[in-house]
Amino acid sequence: MVDLFVTADSITANYDQESTRYKTIDFNIPLELQCNTTESDVRLEWYKDDKNITDSKGKVKIKDNKLIIEKPKVEDAGNYTCKAFKTKVNATVPLGEKQIEVIVKPQVAITKDVTVVEGEKLKLECLVYGTPQPQISWRFGNETFTGDTERVKLEPHEGVANAALVIKETRMEDRGIYVCIGTSGNSTDEAQCHVRVKDKLAALWPFLGICVEVIVLCAIILIYEKKRNKTELEESDTDNSPETKNTPDHGKDSVRQRK
């Protein structure tokens, strides 16, 4: 058996607990996979999803046992295998092989702000990208949801399991930051949504405020009218008082004296 090992200079390899080797695509730099062997008289061939791509034409380049994709895309994700065969021997059974799973780093997106009225249904939908399909979980405060609970239900969204979080009847304590988490291999991406819960009577307060303003205005007008009427009545009583009518006419008395 040929001793094969994989090196990754341009992209850091990730490992999970089962020692499966992952390679994460970075769309800004070439994807490079390399196999080396200490054995002599061995040729290396590359396969993707069990299809030989060693002699394929196009964007895939193979040089010095290194597979290079200059401008990687989503469809370049998959299972790549480096197989070693004896030189000048037309053998179909490899002496050894090494498999590398190439993934697209998970990416998630969600609406940043959501407002819901108390008692109504809350539904948060997480958009998920990545290959293979990332696993989705949710976090609210110190609690993480990977499945249904008494009040929280996780539903599929656009073919991705658990990508939608649903609360049938929202309470005031449900307001806060909800985090959608996408995980693929050892790569993780998160997106946050700030949920605001409005009082179910909130729409009534502006109307009540307008009613109070109208009542206060009417009261002011009524008080003003009463005071004005009272003032006019007092002035009218003063003009028609007996003292005004019996006031001596000094001008007439002077005329009589002269006569």
d(CA 98, CA 102): 13
At residue 13, the pLDDT reads 31
Q: CA of 253: how far to CAs of 94, 242, 249, in Å?
A: 149, 20, 7
Homologous superfamily of domain range 110-198: Immunoglobulins (2.60.40.10)
138 near 153, Cβ under 8 Å?
no
Judge whether 109 and 182 are in contact, CB under 8 Å. Answer: no
CATH number for region 4-104: 2.60.40.10
pTM over the 0.85 mark = no
**Helix, strand, coil fractions of the chain, as percent rounded to 5:** 20, 45, 35
Measured CA to CA, the distance from residue 62 to residue 42 in angstroms comes to: 16
pLDDT of residue 9: 38
The pLDDT of residue 23 is 80
| Cβ(35)–Cβ(127) below 8 Å | no
Residue 20's identity, in one-letter code, is T
In a 3-state reduction of DSSP, which class is residue 26?
coil
In the chain, ranges of CATH 2.60.40.10 domains: 4-104, 110-198
Q: What is the pLDDT along the chain (259 residues), one digit of tens a residue?
A: 455 555 443 333 333 333 356 788 888 888 888 887 777 778 888 899 888 888 776 778 888 788 899 888 888 998 988 888 887 767 677 778 888 888 888 899 999 999 999 999 999 999 998 888 999 999 999 999 999 999 999 999 999 999 999 999 999 999 999 999 999 877 889 999 999 999 877 667 777 788 888 899 888 888 887 887 777 666 666 665 555 445 555 555 554 555 4
